[in-house]
Structure 1
């Protein structure tokens, strides 16, 4: 798996990561979606950026708390604070 950076440990960090993906700030091509997942190897949780055919382009580990509380944000997108 292609994992970069530190563990995402807050909802603010998750929102920043999702916005970077959405705006193309990570230089990823062919992004088809984002989701939360659990590693079969060790049970750790991560946020995954998927390309075509569900290929993992990039993953970032998340804490258990972010996994539990951030799923709606990943599913529905980051809401503006206007």
Structure 2
């Protein structure tokens, strides 16, 4: 079976469409990865804040709660 020959315009259009598809896929994957990382970082920050609030509330009510903080302000040990 003989394959049909495409004109130069058709080959260029097909090549351009394929290139655009590959670039779009790469951009989508990159944006998706960055969004996931951003969401994870935001969730961890909210969790750290909630933990500090909880420890503050409990330490004001119950005696003997000792908190060890990291240089970055995160709770390392209770």
Q: Give the structure-2-normalised TM-score.
A: 0.29
Name the one with the larger helix percent: 2
Q: Which has the higher contact order (CA 8 A, sep 6+)?
A: 1
Name the one with the larger strand percent: 1
Q: Which has the larger radius of gyration?
A: 2
Q: Give the structure-1-normalised TM-score.
A: 0.28
